[in-house]
């Protein structure tokens, strides 16, 4: 009987925690039960209180001497006259640059509207109680957002959408006969439209009804606007690719399985910064000679590839959580592979995966700060540019506190949403 | 799926043209000049609160845009880091790199670029706080040195210290702002960079006089704009725009009097420069008033220098080697003949 | 029966390639392979054309050229005359060092915060919640930069240690110097060292081998002692005291060996502009290490908390019914079961730490990305080759770590019937 030493030496006494409710103040009782419950707890309480006290003593005076209305660091210092205090004038002066980059200030309403509409477009997916009709707006949202942020003529996204409509209507016309043939015809129709007809159609529509707003170059987009654009576009575009990769990884066809696994493991094995460097240095080598894509577009392409690998893992988890009975029932009904996926499996799997997808988005949004290393103007890079200006050279804490606070607001909000959703999904499946 | 295809369409819109040997044609058809700059070097290229760029390199780019596109504001400034500048130029993302880049053999030959001239003669120097009590670079044994990584600075530093049998601790950092913060906090003893960089940074310190720039200049750093190799016409335009600015100072043509000089000057060289005589503009593929527009943006080289990094600016750099050759410096324009 | 007989004799038609499931899988795979090969061929063709236009060629010769730059943290020997390949190796070793250190401290911090977050003490639980939420929701790069800033702003410069009335002094009986360049510890040194073995890539110290050997022998002796004590317990019901004997066996031989080798401490002292002598932990290393630890520690705290909460309350109640104290319950009942849930996401976090070490350039730490993927490709212009090599190395490291995780999963999986 090889019993462990420890069990024989177990103390046979009750482990119910003491804490006699003495008569008296409820607060005192609460404090005694929660804060001074045993010597370990007392020690921890004392250490925590000391730590909090030290933090407040270090930061308090600095915050108390906050100056909001200085135009430069020199002014701040002369007002403070030797004391140490926070110089929030830099935030007052440059908050717009931190939020929008070099976007023209008269046009701020455009990205703000686009952001508001983003929340509306995402709402039906995130809050299942809302009416499904909003999804139609969600489908139109990408074109609208593109036009709002980059400007140019409104007919441009319209012609792109017309191409999609052509493809989808051709597909549904022939899909009853033969799925793959219909898909081929649909794609051919769309591509024909885009390559040959969309440009003349766009120019003709533009000449009839001009709807141009001021065009913005990608270089003017910076700050949090850039982070949100890269994050949202990356996640949204990576969803279809992630689904394909997840299905490929679960596939029984060896070649497809191998390719998916290699792709996913390669992307997950390299740091995001190397992928961003590829976007800025390497992607040009692999594109046709003479073509030159916008840097933001290249970054979005590589970020999409990066996010799709993580998305594939999240969706794979969602797929694994589905009981096998669903597949078997679909097979019994006579549905083939793609119909099973489209009608039975994917809706359920995606619903289960939404918390994971939101977590991926939080991670990606935080990682967008890495574009500072390739010369794009994310908030950290704008902070560096601000600090290089002679007005604000030497300022440090205030900028990073501001940037950190905004990141915290975004990410904390999203993680609270994700937790709420997880709780709801758990009750669904009970 | 829809959003995926939308991006393909957006890609077609954003494909910004062919980066072939005809950069001049590209620039003119595009309508804007893409100029690679530092993302925040006071005096050379830095954006102000409204996002408008100012500086020595910025002025050169605007002059070039005025010459080629007739509009000094038709410029897109592309901030590049030390690490991304060369690939940005090689790939065609920018048309000209005006980023205080040193003209060296390897960059000219190995990396396959063409330097169109020197717009600032500089040299690598050291800046130390006065409180350290150091008067010469040879006393820097064991020092902690902050450097911007990806530049010739770290190679030159390594060779200098090796030659003088001194040891040091390098701290390479990506952005200027980080280095300034570390140097001011005392996390490194010495900051080494081009002398102009040191002056520009010192100008923003709380007490600029507490820091001295050591007398040793340990390298030659001729800084100039760069274009891709193999595109001679574009290189000519870029080179002669720079020469026009320097020549204007030699001839006394300023921003104020350029119009008047164009009309009434009797100096044949001024007339050739400003297009009244000869067809130099047409030979470059431009019109005859190309140089006049370039000079009218911010003036001649001397005025640009004075406005951005001269004695009256916080940077306070003396002309030194950057004075005209007639005044003992090295600024020498090739003749417009 | 008749149909199967008929099927076997059915002549092969082209439509069968798509409709007959026997052939369809092969068809799909062949089509997929052809598509993949076509894409790959197009990409490679583009690459070759682009290289030709730029006049570059694809070769790794640059690795054997002189690097020309210095690296501050050199775990293996390196000078500016070494090759780029050696610089990349130095970067790789730096990456592994900071990754290992950060993994260790992040785990400690995470377990500490996770367990404390479940504590009954209100202040402590709230404090840990604040820590976890604030560190998780702010990007790692920002934390690393902020910690580097805190170090460089609030620590004294070496100059403050000099002079007749220094404003800063060394701590711990004048042995450790905390400056804003780094922290200097006394360095253990052996005056009667046994020497080194020199391999091409590095040197292996014979003293180190000797110490490891002696420790291994001590460990074996300790296990034997423990086994003897267990046998005595089983035979007689009383366990002989092993505590002091264990300690003696572990400590005494190593101490004797170190004394024989002439162990002494070399203290850092200020000379000239900086401290010299002693072991230096540079501020860039500390910033990266601490930044990654506290950032990932917040994630690990959540993982630990989820793992502990996933164990049903019945286990705790049964343990209490058996008379185990809360600490023993945690150690003997809860944590072993929670390990199965905690370890896989924990190893994912280790993977994240290893990948996040590439942020080192922001604070001047020379890891693999800063040397090979930074200075080297910038000075030589070989972006394609350098980046590919760097990505390959990172993929190899990640594959090693994830196969460790797969091994663990495999060994601890619940064997269902």
pLDDT at B8: 43
User: Residue B101: helix, strand or coil by DSSP?
Assistant: strand
Minimal C-alpha gap between B173 and chain A (Å): 11
Q: Considering the domain boundaries, does residue C45 fall inside one?
A: yes
Residue from the list A255, A272, A278 with its beta carbon closest to the beta carbon of C32: A255
Residue C268 CA to residue C177 CA, distance in Å, equals: 7
A43 interfaces chain C, CB cutoff of 8 Å: no
CB C406 within 8 Å of CB A296: no
Whether A295 contacts chain C with CB within 8 A? no
Q: Which of the four pLDDT bands, split at 50, 70 and 90, describes residue B330?
A: very high
Instruction: For chain A, positions 49-108, list CB contacts with chain B under 8 A.
Output: 74, 77, 93-94, 97, 102, 105
Helix, strand, or coil (residue A93)? helix
Taking the CA atoms of C175, C279, B131 and B141 in sequence, report the sign of the dihedral they define.
positive
- Average pLDDT, rounded, for chain A: 83
CA distance B67 to A195: 36
C246 is a domain residue: yes
If you average pLDDT over every residue of chain B, what do you get? Answer: 84
CB B39 within 8 A of CB A375: yes
C22 located within any domain: yes
Confidence grade of residue A429 (pLDDT, cut at 50, 70, 90): low
- Does C399 reach chain A within 8 Å, measured CB to CB? yes
Q: What is the DSSP letter of C347?
A: H
For residue range A154-197, what is the model confidence (pLDDT) as tens digits? 888 888 888 888 888 888 888 777 777 788 888 888 888 888 88
pLDDT band for position A430 (cuts 50, 70, 90)? very low
- Using CA coordinates, name the residue in chain C closest to A266: C395
Question: Quick one: average pLDDT of B37-59?
Answer: 85
- 8 A C-beta contact, residue A219 and residue B78: yes
- Is residue B279's pLDDT more than 90? no
The whole-number pLDDT of residue A261 equals 92
Domain count, chain C: 2
Region A237-256 average pLDDT: 90
Quote the pLDDT of residue C286. Answer: 93
Q: Which of B1, B18, B77 sits opposite A240 (nearest CB)?
A: B1
- Whether the Cβ atoms of residue C346 and residue C107 lie closer than 8 Å to each other: yes
Instruction: Identify the pLDDT of residue B6.
Output: 40
What is the model's pLDDT at position C298? 93
Q: Distance between CA atoms of C234 and A4, rounded to whole angstroms?
A: 10
DSSP structure class, residue B331: B
Full domain range(s) for residue C252: 199-265
Question: Considering the domain B124-219 in this protein, what is its CATH number?
Answer: 3.40.190.10
pLDDT for C4: 52
Q: What is the pLDDT of residue A3?
A: 47
pLDDT band at residue A246 using 50, 70 and 90 as cut-offs: very high
Rg (CA), chain B: 21
Give the pLDDT band (50/70/90) at residue B15: very low
How many A/C residue pairs have CB atoms within 8 Å?
Answer: 174
Chains sharing 3 or more CB pairs under 8 A with chain C: A, B
Q: Which CATH superfamily, name and number, covers A92-132+221-429?
A: MetI-like (1.10.3720.10)
pLDDT of C104 reads: 95
Q: Which residue did the predictor score with more confidence, B5 or A117?
A: A117
What is the per-residue pLDDT for B5?
Answer: 39
Residue A31 three-state SS: helix
For B75-133, what is each residue's pLDDT tens digit?
A: 989 888 777 788 888 878 899 999 888 898 888 887 788 999 999 998 899 999 998 88
- CATH class of this structure's domain B2-121+222-327: alpha beta
pLDDT category at B4 given cuts 50, 70, 90 is: very low
pLDDT (average), residues B293-306 = 92
In angstroms, the separation between the Cα of residue A64 and the nearest Cα of chain C is: 19
**Domain endpoint, select from C246, C265, C284:** C265
**Shortest CB distance from A271 goes to which of C116, C239, C355?**
C355
Residues B130-167 as b/e (b if ≥16 CB within 10 A, e otherwise) read eebebeebebbebbbbbbbbbbbbbbbbbebbeeeeee
Q: Give the residue from C53, C76, C93 where a domain finishes.
A: C53
Q: How confident is the model at residue B63 (pLDDT cuts 50, 70, 90)?
A: very high
User: Which of B90, B149, B157 has its CB closest to that of C374?
Assistant: B149
pLDDT one-digit tens code per residue, A212-221: 788 887 778 8
| Inter-chain touch C137–A407, beta carbons under 8 Å | yes
Pairing of strands B75-80, B33-38: parallel
Which residues in chain C touch residue A403, judged by CB atoms under 8 angstroms apart?
142
DSSP letter at A194 equals I
Question: Per-residue confidence at A267, pLDDT binned at 50, 70, 90?
Answer: very high
**Chain A touched by B201 (CB under 8 Å):** yes
With contact defined as beta carbons under 8 Å apart, do B74 and B65 qualify? yes
- Residue pLDDT tens, chain C, 417 long: 445 554 555 677 777 666 777 777 888 888 889 989 999 999 889 888 888 877 778 888 889 988 888 888 888 888 888 899 999 999 999 999 999 999 999 999 998 898 888 888 888 888 899 999 889 899 999 999 888 877 877 788 887 777 777 777 777 777 788 888 888 888 888 887 777 777 766 777 888 888 888 889 998 998 998 898 889 988 988 888 878 888 888 888 888 888 888 888 888 888 778 888 778 888 889 999 999 999 999 999 999 988 888 888 899 999 999 999 888 888 888 888 888 888 888 888 999 999 999 998 888 899 999 899 888 888 887 888 899 999 999 999 999 988 888 888 788 776 655
Average pLDDT of span B188-207:
83
The complex's ipTM?
0.81
| Alpha carbons B121 and A62: distance in angstroms, whole number | 44
pLDDT at B116: 93
Measured between beta carbons, the chain C residues lying within 8 angstroms of A277 are 373, 387
| Cβ neighbours of C116 in A, within 8 Å | 44
Domain boundary pick from C211, C233, C265: C265
> What pLDDT does residue C357 have?
94
Q: Which residues contact C284 (CB under 8 A, 6 or more apart)?
A: B171, C72, C73, C148, C360, C363, C364, C365
- What is the per-residue pLDDT across A12-25, written as a single tens digit (0 to 9) for each? 554 444 444 455 67
- Domain spans, chain B: 2-121+222-327, 124-219
Q: Where are the alpha helices (DSSP H) in A278-334?
A: 283-286, 295-320, 324-332
Mean pLDDT of B211-228: 90
* pLDDT (average), residues B204-229: 86
Place of tokens 């068809």: C27
- Across A322-326, average pLDDT: 89
Statement: residue A393 has pLDDT above 70 = no
Q: Is residue C241 part of a domain?
A: yes
Nearest to A5 by CA among C142, C229, C8, C138: C229
Contacts with A252 from chain C: Cβ below 8 Å: 25
Q: What is the secondary structure of A110-157 as a DSSP string?
A: HHHHHHHHHHHHHHHHH-TTS-TTHHHHHHHHHHHHHHHHH-B-THHH
**Predicted TM-score of the model (pTM):** 0.80
Query: Which of A164, A293, A384 lies at the smallest CB-CB distance from B175?
Result: A384
C149 in reach of chain A (CB within 8 A)? yes
How confident is the model at residue C9, as a pLDDT?
Answer: 59
3-state SS assignment for residue B184 = helix
Percent of chain B with pLDDT strictly greater than 90: 32
pLDDT band at residue B59 under the 50/70/90 scheme: very high
Distance CA C221, CA C215 (A): 10
Q: Report the gap between the CA of A157 and the closest CA in chain C (Å).
A: 28
Average pLDDT over residues A38-59: 86
Is residue A144 predicted with pLDDT exceeding 80?
A: yes
For B144, the 3-state DSSP assignment is strand
């Amino acid at each position: 009987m090889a019993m462990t030493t420890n069990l024989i030496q177990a103390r046979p006494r009750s482990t119910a925690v003491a804490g006699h409710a003495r008569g008296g103040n409820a607060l005192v009782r609460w404090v005694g039960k929660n804060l001074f419950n045993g010597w370990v707890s007392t020690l921890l309480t004392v250490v925590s209180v000391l730590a909090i006290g030290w933090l407040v003593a270090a930061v308090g005076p600095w915050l108390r001497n906050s100056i909001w209305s200085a135009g430069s660091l020199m002014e701040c210092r002369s007002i403070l006259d030797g004391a140490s205090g926070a110089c929030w004038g830099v935030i007052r002066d440059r908050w717009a640059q931190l939020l929008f980059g070099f976007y023209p200030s008269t046009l701020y309403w455009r990205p703000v509207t686009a952001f508001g509409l983003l929340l509306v477009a995402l709402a039906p997916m995130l809050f299942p109680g809302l009416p499904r009709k909003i999804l139609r707006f969600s489908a139109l949202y990408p074109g609208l957002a593109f036009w709002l942020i980059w400007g140019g003529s409104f007919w441009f996204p319209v012609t792109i959408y017309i191409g999609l409509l052509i493809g989808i209507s051709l597909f549904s016309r022939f899909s009853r006969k033969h799925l793959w043939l219909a898909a081929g015809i649909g794609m051919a129709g769309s591509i024909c439209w885009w390559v040959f007809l969309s440009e003349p159609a766009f120019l003709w529509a533009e000449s009839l009804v001009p709807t141009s707003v001021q065009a913005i170059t990608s270089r003017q987009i910076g700050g949090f606007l850039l982070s949100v654009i890269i994050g949202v576009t990356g996640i949204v575009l990576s969803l279809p690719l992630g689904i394909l990769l997840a299905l490929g990884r679960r596939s029984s066809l060896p070649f497809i399985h191998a390719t998916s696994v290699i792709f996913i493991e390669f992307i997950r094995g390299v740091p995001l910064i190397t992928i961003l460097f590829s976007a800025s240095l390497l992607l040009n080598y692999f594109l046709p000679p003479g073509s030159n894509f916008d840097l933001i577009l290249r970054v979005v392409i590589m970020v999409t590839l990066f996010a799709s690998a993580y998305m594939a893992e999240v969706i794979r988890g969602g797929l694994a959580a589905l009981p096998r009975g669903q597949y078997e029932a679909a097979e019994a009904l006579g549905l083939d592979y793609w119909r099973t996926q489209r009608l039975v499996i994917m809706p359920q799997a995606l619903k289960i995966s939404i918390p994971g997808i939101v977590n991926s988005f939080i991670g990606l949004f935080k990682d967008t700060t890495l574009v500072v290393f390739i010369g794009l103007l994310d908030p950290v890079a704008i902070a560096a540019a601000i600090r290089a200006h002679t007005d604000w050279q030497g300022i440090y804490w205030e900028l990073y506190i501001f940037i950190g606070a905004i990141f915290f607001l975004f990410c904390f909000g999203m993680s609270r949403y994700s937790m709420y959703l997880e709780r709801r999904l758990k009750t669904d499946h009970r | 799926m829809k959003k995926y295809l939308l991006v393909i369409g957006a890609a077609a819109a954003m494909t910004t043209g062919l980066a072939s040997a005809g950069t001049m044609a590209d620039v003119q058809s595009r309508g804007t000049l893409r100029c690679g700059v530092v993302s925040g070097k006071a005096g050379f290229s830095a954006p102000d609160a409204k996002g408008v760029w100012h500086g020595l390199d910025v002025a050169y780019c605007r002059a070039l845009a005025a010459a080629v596109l007739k509009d000094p504001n038709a410029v897109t400034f592309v901030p590049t880091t030390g690490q991304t500048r060369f690939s940005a130029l090689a790939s065609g993302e920018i048309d000209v790199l005006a980023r205080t880049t040193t003209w060296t053999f390897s960059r000219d030959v190995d990396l396959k670029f063409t330097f169109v001239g020197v717009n600032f003669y500089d040299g690598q120097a050291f800046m130390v706080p006065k409180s350290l009590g150091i008067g010469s670079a040879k006393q820097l044994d064991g020092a902690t040195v902050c450097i911007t990584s990806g530049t010739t600075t770290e190679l030159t530093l390594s060779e200098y210290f090796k030659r003088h049998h001194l040891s040091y601790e390098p701290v390479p950092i990506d952005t200027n702002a980080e280095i300034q913060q570390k140097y001011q906090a005392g996390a490194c003893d010495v900051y080494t960079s081009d002398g102009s960089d040191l002056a520009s940074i010192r100008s923003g310190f709380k007490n600029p006089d507490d820091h001295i720039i050591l007398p040793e200049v340990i390298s030659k750093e001729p800084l100039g704009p760069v274009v891709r190799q193999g595109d001679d016409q574009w290189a000519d335009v870029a080179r002669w725009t720079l020469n026009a600015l320097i020549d204007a100072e030699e001839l006394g043509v300023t921003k104020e009097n350029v119009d008047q000089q164009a009309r009434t000057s009797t100096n044949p060289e001024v007339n050739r420069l400003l297009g009244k005589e000869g067809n130099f503009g047409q030979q470059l593929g431009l019109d005859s008033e190309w140089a006049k527009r370039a000079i009218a943006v911010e003036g001649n080289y001397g005025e640009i220098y004075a406005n951005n990094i001269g004695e009256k600016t916080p940077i306070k750099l003396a002309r030194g080697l950057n004075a005209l050759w007639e005044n003992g410096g090295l600024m020498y324009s090739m003749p417009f003949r | 029966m008749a149909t199967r007989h008929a099927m076997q004799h059915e002549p092969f038609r082209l439509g069968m390639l798509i409709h007959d499931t026997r052939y369809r899988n092969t068809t799909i795979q062949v089509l997929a392979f052809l598509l993949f090969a076509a894409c790959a061929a197009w990409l490679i063709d583009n690459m070759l054309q682009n290289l030709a236009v730029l006049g570059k060629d694809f070769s790794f010769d640059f690795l054997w050229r002189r690097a020309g730059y210095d690296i501050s943290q050199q775990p293996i020997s390196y000078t500016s005359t070494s090759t780029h390949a050696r610089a990349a190796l130095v970067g790789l070793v730096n990456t592994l060092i900071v990754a290992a250190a950060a993994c260790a401290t992040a785990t400690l911090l995470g377990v500490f915060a996770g367990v404390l977050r479940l504590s009954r003490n209100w202040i402590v639980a709230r404090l840990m919640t604040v820590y976890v939420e604030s560190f998780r929701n702010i990007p790692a790069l920002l934390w690393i930069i902020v910690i580097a800033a805190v170090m460089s702003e609030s620590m004294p410069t070496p100059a403050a240690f000099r002079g007749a009335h220094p404003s800063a002094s060394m701590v711990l009986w004048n042995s450790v110097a905390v400056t804003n360049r780094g922290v200097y510890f006394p360095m253990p040194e052996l005056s009667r060292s046994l020497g080194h073995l020199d391999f091409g890539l590095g040197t292996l110290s014979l003293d180190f081998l000797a110490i490891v050997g002696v420790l291994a022998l001590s460990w074996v002796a300790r296990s034997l002692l423990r086994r003897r004590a267990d046998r005595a317990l089983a035979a007689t019901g009383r366990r002989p005291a092993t505590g002091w004997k264990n300690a003696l066996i572990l400590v005494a031989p190593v101490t004797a060996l170190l004394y024989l080798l002439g162990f002494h401490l070399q203290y850092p002292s200020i000379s000239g502009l900086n401290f010299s002598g002693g072991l230096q932990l540079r501020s860039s290393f500390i910033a990266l290490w601490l930044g990654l630890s506290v950032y990932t520690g917040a994630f690990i705290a959540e993982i630990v908390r989820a793992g502990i909460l996933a164990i049903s309350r019945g286990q705790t109640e049964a343990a209490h019914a058996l008379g185990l104290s809360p600490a023993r319950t945690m150690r003997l009942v809860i944590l072993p079961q929670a390990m199965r849930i905690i370890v896989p996401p924990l190893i994912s976090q280790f993977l994240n730490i290893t990948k996040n070490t590439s942020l080192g350039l922001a604070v001047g730490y020379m890891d693999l990305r800063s040397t090979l993927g930074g200075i080297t490709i910038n000075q030589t212009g070989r972006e394609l080759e350098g980046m590919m090599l760097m990505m390959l190395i990172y993929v190899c490291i990640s594959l090693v770590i994830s196969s460790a995780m797969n091994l663990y999963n495999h060994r601890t999986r619940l064997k269902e019937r």
